[in-house]
Amino acid sequence: MNRSKRLLRAGVLAGLLLAGAAARAAEPPLPDRDPHSYANPAQLRVTQVALDLSVDFKRKRLSGTSELQIAHVDPAARELLLDTRDLSIERVETSSDGKTWSKAAFQLAARDRVLGSKLSIAVPADAQRVRIRYTTAPQASALQWLTPAQTAGKRQPYLFTQSQAIHARSWIPLQDTPLVRMPYSARIRAPKNLRAVMSAEMHEQPAADGAWEFVMPQPIPSYLIALAVGDIAFRSTGERTGVYAEPSLLDRAAYEFAETEKTMELEEQLYGPYRWGRYDLLILPPSFPYGGMENPRLTFATPTVITGDRKLVSLVTHELSHSWSGNLVTNATWSDFWLNEGFTTYLTNRLNEAQYGLEFADMERVLGLQDLRDSEEQAEPADRVLVRATPAADPDEVFSSIPYERGALFLTWLESLYGRPAFDRFLRGWFDEHAFKSASTAQFLAYLDEHLIAQDRSKASAAQIDAWLHAPQIPAFAVLPRSDAFTQVESQRAAWLGGALATSALPTSGWAVQQWQHFLDTMPASVTPAQLQALDAQYGLSKTPNAIIASSWFRAAIAGGDQAVWPAAAQYLQHVGRMRLLGPIYRAWIATPDGRVYAQQTYAQARAGYHPIAAASVQRLFDERP
Ligand code: BES
Ligand code: ZN
């Protein structure tokens, strides 16, 4: 390149940068504080975390140090505020050079039920680093310590973390807010024969001293820091993909998720490069409380999606999609949760269409709509909106399908108004311009206005957009999905319920998992226990190895008054800890007086095997209004 060309290019670049700066300037600033964190990042901000932890299965605790690098955003600030929950803090030191350390004064405040305990640390003006020596509690809300009996192999214990939304503070003292992003590194000492994995770059073998070493070079929010320790093996499934699982599960897992690389490529065509290097899956034991968790580079997933027919892998598509919506562009606070989950649900639908066709994608969309309607019915009025007027007390308590499904419908509506090509460009621009940043709803609205609505202001009104965000139901002008495959199931079901079709004549052999779900989840109240028992006798539903169909079946049978399924349902609840699958069963029982008692007995037995987050969610069902 000659000199004038180079200058020209520099000029164009500077112009682009200026334009970028101008576009960003139009967006409102992020808030200084997060209502779900004690941190004060506008004064002192954590810029990097280095963990050095030992895993003690006997005492169910992690202990070691967390070393934080800090930036003095406000040079006058002398107090670093961190989040903790049930941690014992043994010592705090600060350093200006990372070599010499001096003891720092600190104070651990009384424990708040939701937020935990604020840790205040006195930091000198020149302190660059803070090192905290601490130990976690056996009941740490992010940690589940599994006995060998709760694993597939039955010989080794297992530990995993679940930090989202505000549980990282129960195993790491840090600024536990998605407003703050930081790279992290870790050294984890685990018992011999066990392997540690994290949401970071990994090595095949531990270091010479036995510690497993990890580096996450990109800045991520605290809720994406994740660790698992157990009898874990690895198998590659593609250029950038692979599965980690207990050895006995590895073959099935590798088969089920063999198409992940393909999904990545399709997603990159739509939304830009995958920016995290590898994308691996960790298949957890069945007590994992979620379907999946988008820990960067290493999605944590329930084993309940392994069915042998790859029919439930859109869960992976969802978690992979978070590599754009959520991990790359992160909700600034938990009030903006729909920016993570609504976008991700929309992206997943698009990917489902591209990879498995419109019929499949529409079935998933309609199941989502049903979830949304159920959530709207169950939620308190204040929680029925996409963005609440005031922050929820506890993000776990208001978790529902509303941010997922109404958020996705909002984006689908925008797509329908401006057309797919324009909307795809718009989304891609949103991700590119906010990559590795946290973003608020207010910022999204400003970006939306400038980059999409401004193309034609007659298409979407401010009142309509306000309805999407703040109305307690789906706006009347929404574009709703339909599924012919489900309509067929509905008429077959009506014929069966009315006696025109024998139980054995239901054409179930051609049904997709999603059709079974729809058949069971929307079963009319008119179904009789005798009909349900005939269904079970014909199709062995109480014994199905498909955990999704099982959950839908048990809920439908309990709600329909078929007490014969109770023992099988109780059995199921002893080993499945995925909240989405167990919640509806407990809920159906609790709705009847006899069922409530039975549910309580079942829970008393199952509880020890649940993750603390799942146990709390079931407990809330019993505590709710009768
Ligand atoms: N990030 C969520 C799980 C989550 C949300 C954990 C809030 C803690 C707090 C994850 O991406 C998710 O949405 N999982 C779903 C998957 C489904 C929608 C395909 C789940 O677990 O059911
Ligand atoms: Zn999600």
- Tens-digit pLDDT profile for residues 396-442: 999 999 999 999 999 999 999 999 999 999 999 999 999 999 999 99
The answer to which of 19-28, 315-324, 452-461, 510-519 has the lowest mean pLDDT is: 19-28
With beta carbons less than 8 A apart as the criterion, state whether 343 and 411 touch.
Answer: yes
Find out whether the beta carbon of 290 lies less than 6 Å from any atom of ligand 1. Answer: yes
| CB-based burial, 19-39: b 16+ in 10 Å, e otherwise | eeeeeeeebeebbeebebbbb
Predicted confidence (pLDDT) at residue 5 exceeds the cutoff of 80: no
CA of 294 to the centre of ligand 2 (A): 7
**What is the number of H-type helices and E-type strands within the chain?**
18, 21
Predicted confidence (pLDDT) at residue 19 exceeds the cutoff of 80: no
Confidence (pLDDT) at 626: 62
Q: To test ligand 1's pocket by mutation, which of 324, 325, 341, 580 has the most ligand atoms within 8 angstroms of CB? A: 341
**Cα-to-chain-centroid distance, residue 463:** 31
Find out whether the beta carbon of 341 lies less than 6 Å from any atom of ligand 1. Answer: yes
pLDDT single digits (tens) 252-274:
999 999 999 999 999 999 999 99
**Tokens standing for residue 175:** 């600024």
Predicted confidence (pLDDT) at residue 8 exceeds the cutoff of 60: no
Q: What amino acid is encoded at 138 in this protein? A: P
Structure confidence at residue 12 as a pLDDT band (50, 70, 90): very low
CA of 398 to the centre of ligand 1 (A): 13
**DSSP secondary structure string for all residues of 201-261:** B--SS--TTS-EEEEEEEEEEGGG--EEEES-EEEE-SSSEEEEE-GGGHHHHHHHTTTHH
Question: Is 319 known to be catalytic?
Answer: yes
What are the start-end ranges of the E strands in 314-414?
Answer: 329-331
Q: Which residues surround ligand 2, an ion (CB under 5 A)?
A: 341, 344
Find out whether the beta carbon of 70 lies less than 6 Å from any atom of ligand 1. Answer: no
Q: What amino acid is encoded at 347 in this protein? A: L
Confidence (pLDDT) at 22: 45
pLDDT single digits (tens) 309-350:
898 999 999 999 999 999 999 999 999 999 999 999 999 999
CA of 287 to the centre of ligand 1 (A): 15
Q: Output the average pLDDT for the chain.
A: 95
CA of 291 to the centre of ligand 1 (A): 6
Q: Report the C-alpha gap between 298 and 276 in whole angstroms.
A: 10
Question: Is 404 known to be catalytic?
Answer: yes
pLDDT single digits (tens) 227-249:
999 999 999 999 999 999 999 99
Q: Cα dist. 15→10, 11, 332 in Å?
A: 8, 6, 29
pLDDT single digits (tens) 348-386:
999 999 999 999 999 999 999 999 999 999 999 999 999
Find out whether the beta carbon of 271 lies less than 6 Å from any atom of ligand 1. Answer: no
